[in-house]
Amino acid sequence: MRTLHTPRCTLEPLLTAHAEAMFPVLSDPAIYEFENAPPASLDVLRCRFQRMAARRSPDGDEQWLNWVLRLPSGDLAGYVQATVLAGSHAWVAYELASRHWRQGIGGAAVRAMLQELAATHGVHTAVAALKARNHRSVGLLQHLGFVPGLPPGEALGSIDSDEIAFHLPMHSHAPQVPRV
């Protein structure tokens, strides 16, 4: 896994050692307006990061790619992640502390991850599932060129009744991810 660079942030491959600096970032209650909850403790987050840093699901069927977002100031702002499946699809997700919203950081980080997935990991379709009420994420995904729905004709599992899916077709040799 490579470190990725954008003008707004650097994407560093997630390590267990990032847990301490990420704990206050991920403890921002605004992140969880629509789903999930902050980490219960630093130890819980360390254990989670240790599993994620393995880069593979326990059964070996999924590749787990996670990057923390480091700002030019040196602070961490959040993370982006991709679960790469057989068939060259990836489920993508992201979390960014609310004080960094609407600054182009999330869009730059997701775009860099998508380009890396296409160019290095052979991903041809990115998929995101989110709570339907999450207007900020809907806006970000649409801005990046994602379209509503799961990719046609693909068996990628299902989403919850209160969720919506978006997907983005990509090309391995020349990723067509719009600039933010």
Express each pLDDT in 115-170 by its tens digit. 999 999 999 999 999 999 999 999 999 999 999 998 876 666 678 888 999 999 98
Query: CB-based contacts of 125: which residues, under 8 Å, 6+ apart?
Result: 88, 89, 90, 151, 154, 167, 168, 169, 170
| 162 part of a folded domain | yes
Mean pLDDT of the chain: 90
| 47 part of a folded domain | yes
Mean pLDDT confidence for 66-93 = 95
* Cβ neighbours of 43 (radius 10 Å): 11
pLDDT of residue 178: 45
Given pLDDT bands bounded at 50, 70 and 90, which one contains residue 87? confident
| 92 part of a folded domain | yes
| 180 part of a folded domain | no
Count up the domains in the chain and report the number: 1
Strands (E), 32-153: 63-70, 76-85, 89-96, 125-131, 147-148
Instruction: Say whether pLDDT at 173 is over 60.
Output: no
For 135, counting Cβ atoms within 10 Å of its Cβ (0-12 exposed, 13-18 middle, 19+ buried), the class is: exposed
Which single residue is written with the structure tokens 């326990």? 58
Range of the domain at 125: 4-169
| 135 part of a folded domain | yes
Q: What CATH number did the domain enclosing 44 receive?
A: 3.40.630.30
Task: Fill in the amino acid letter for 118.
Answer: A
For the chain, the straight-line distance linking the first and the last C-alpha, in angstroms and rounded, comes to 24
| 17 part of a folded domain | yes
Integer Cα distance of 54 and 51 in angstroms: 6
Given pLDDT bands bounded at 50, 70 and 90, which one contains residue 78? very high
pTM of the model: 0.90
| 100 part of a folded domain | yes
Mean pLDDT confidence for 21-44 = 94
pLDDT of residue 171: 67
| 96 part of a folded domain | yes
